[in-house]
Each structure stands twice: as structure tokens, then as C-alpha cells.
Copies of this chain bind each other. A is one copy, B any other.
Amino acid sequence: MVTIKDVAQAAGVAPSTVSYVLSGSRKISDATRAAVQAAVDELGYHPNAGARSLRSTRTGVLALALPLPARGYLPVGGRFMYGLSEAAGQLGYLVLLVTPPGEEDPDAGLERAARSRFADAAVIMGVQMEDPRIDAMRALDFPVALIGRPADESAAPWTDLDWDEAALVAVRALHEAGHKRVCYLATVEEDVRARRSYSVRGIRGAERAAAGLGTSVDVCHSTGDPAELFGRLDARLDSAEAPTAFAVQHPAAIPGILRHLAARGIEVPRDVSLVAVGSFPEDLGGLDVTRVELPVARMSAAVTRLAADAVEAAAPGTPAGGATPHTLIAPHLIRGATVAPAP
């Protein structure tokens, strides 16, 4: 293994000088710098991560706390892992995955990562309105940034799509097309039950939209079981007051829903209109759905920035800065081919 001593010897300087050249925290003569740089390149030197973090209390790693994938695979989780890894790389961080070890103690993995200093900060996914992980990390004085807007918005830095507004935008698009009876298909019920922020806010947005617009909005919870989901849709469609439009906050289910509707002889948008809430493009297989997309790349960049800032803010000697920052992203309706005037 190549150490700083090897580089120092090769360059004819002291190890501390190599360190200063690499960190840039001291003025170094051009000759010395060039000699050190040459030795570094020559030997392929990379500072030992363990030694560096032991000494400097910086690891260059962000821990990503994943939600329990118990209810099956979450496409959105995978998408965020990519986005985060990329955004983090841009800021010089690596991303460490932290999965909950079991049902009974959902933040044991995260707590271990924090206490053992595997990372400088945690990025929390699948944020709940009242998320115990936030308090757990605060108790450890461990910096966090959230993908998701908690009930207490000053609890920690966060970024999110404005889900209340997204649901409103979707319902309004249907309302403006003349639909009087809209079914809001919310996230899977496990998410509703866990009070995930996007679930709660999406539903709330739909209810507010109903109240504000005078449209009848029937909120229905989705499920990962397609047969069960189609049963719920059928119950709605067979009722006396059948909806003429759906707003769907479960993008992974949309291809299946469209197939199911087609099998029932229902054509979209001729017979029924549909808007997706919080979809991402890769989901839809080229299907031109009217939608509000989840801005994964922007959210990944934002949360990485917030996490990096939280690391700086937690450093000793930093003044206890004012308000807790956040990045709220306004929804943007993309008009596709799945909304038509109400029959």
C-alpha cells in the first residue's frame, strides 16, 4: 500500500508537506508542489480513508437511510439512489446505503452508521410526517437532510416536491376539462398508514382541491397487489356515481391500470381521463400520460447540497446559523394524451 511517507520520500519532502499540497490549506512553492504532484501521480497515491477520517473527523461519505422495502421493490428508491450517488459525487461525497435491519428497530442501522462515524451526515428517504429518525439523529448531534417535507418543517433541512400543490394541479386539470367526479388514487396504503409525507400531503392536496374547486374527489388508497387494486377500481367504476377521471399518485401501477381499463372496454381518454402525480419518465414506457413528474435529479442535487451544508454547519467554530433551510419544488403539469373533456 502506498502511504504518504512513500510520496514524501519520492518527492524529497516531509509527509506533512504532502498533506498540505493535497489539502491546499497552506502556501507551497511551485517547485515543491510539482515534485509532490509528480510523486502522487507516479505512485498512484490516494490517502487512506480510515486514517483521514480518524484524524480529521470527516469521512467524505453520506449515509442514505432507505425506507423498508418490505412491501416490495420501490422503483423510486432505485431512481433516487442513482441520482444521489451522482449528485454526491459532484460534491466529492460517496453514498453509503443503510437498510433497516428489521421491522422492530427501524433506525438501528442508521444509528450505528452515525455512532461509528461511517458518514458525515445522513440523507433520509421515505420521510414520515413525524419521523423518529430525525430525533434519533439530533440526539446524536448528527447532521441530516431529508428527502421529504416533515410536519415540523424546522426539524431538519429538507427538499421535496410540493405534493399538496401537485395534487391540486392534477385535480384542477381534470376539473377544467369538465370532470365533476374525480377519483384520487393515493399511494399504497402502507405509505398512508406510515404517514409518509408524500402520501399525507398528496391526499390533503386532493381534499383541498375538492373543497376549493367544488369537484367531488373520492380518495382511494392504492396497493401493491394488482388484483386487489383492480377490484377497488371496479367497485368505483361500477358504482352509481362512477368517476369520469382519475388522478393517480402511484405511477408504477399506471400501465396495469390502463390495461385493466382497456380490458373492461374503457378507453382513455375517450371514456375516462387520467393524470399521474409524481411519476418519473422511465416509468411509463413511452406512454404519453398527462402528469406532474417527480423531479428526482433536482431533489437529489438539492438534498446533497443541504446535507453538505449541514456538515459544515455542524463543524466546531461555525456560528449557529439561523433558519433551517429547505428546497420546495413547485409542480409542473405536463400535458399528455390522457385527458379529454368530460363526456
Interface residues of A (CB under 8 A from B): 1-2, 44-54, 59, 61, 66, 69, 72-75, 77-79, 81-82, 84-86, 89, 94-99, 101, 109, 112-113, 115-118, 225-227, 229-230, 252-256, 258-259, 262, 280, 282, 285-287
* Minimum CB–CB distance for A228 against chain B, Å: 9
Identify the closest chain B residue to A84 (Cβ): B97
Pick from B78, B85, B113, B286: contact of A230, CB below 8 A: B286
A86 to B66, CA, bound (A): 11
* Minimum CB–CB distance for A242 against chain B, Å: 22
Measured between beta carbons, the chain B residues less than 8 angstroms from A59 are 49-50
Measured between beta carbons, the chain B residues less than 8 angstroms from A225 are 286
Beyond A46-B112, A48-B54, whether A61 also contacts B96 by CB under 8 A is yes
A229 to B61, CA, bound (A): 40
B109→A98 contact, CB < 8 A: no
A94→B89 contact, CB < 8 A: no
Measured between beta carbons, the chain B residues less than 8 angstroms from A50 are 49-54, 59, 117
Beyond A77-B78, A256-B285, whether A46 also contacts B97 by CB under 8 A is no
Pick from B82, B98, B109, B259: contact of A69, CB below 8 A: B82
Identify the closest chain B residue to A285 (Cβ): B256
Given contacts A73-B282, A75-B75, 10 further A-B contacts (CB under 8 A): A46-B115, A48-B54, A49-B53, A49-B116, A73-B78, A73-B79, A89-B99, A230-B286, A256-B286, A258-B259
A262 to B118, CA, bound (A): 52
Measured between beta carbons, the chain B residues less than 8 angstroms from A112 are 46
Measured between beta carbons, the chain B residues less than 8 angstroms from A66 are 82, 85
B78→A75 contact, CB < 8 A: yes
A109 to B280, CA, bound (A): 27
Pick from B94, B229, B256: contact of A96, CB below 8 A: B94
Beyond A54-B54, A85-B99, A99-B86, whether A252 also contacts B49 by CB under 8 A is no
* Minimum CB–CB distance for A91 against chain B, Å: 12
Measured between beta carbons, the chain B residues less than 8 angstroms from A81 are 78, 81, 97
Beyond A48-B54, A94-B97, A96-B94, whether A285 also contacts B226 by CB under 8 A is yes
A225 to B285, CA, bound (A): 9
B85→A116 contact, CB < 8 A: no
**In the A-B complex, the 8 residue pairs with the closest CB atoms:** A78-B78, A226-B286, A256-B285, A50-B53, A46-B115, A255-B255, A50-B54, A85-B97
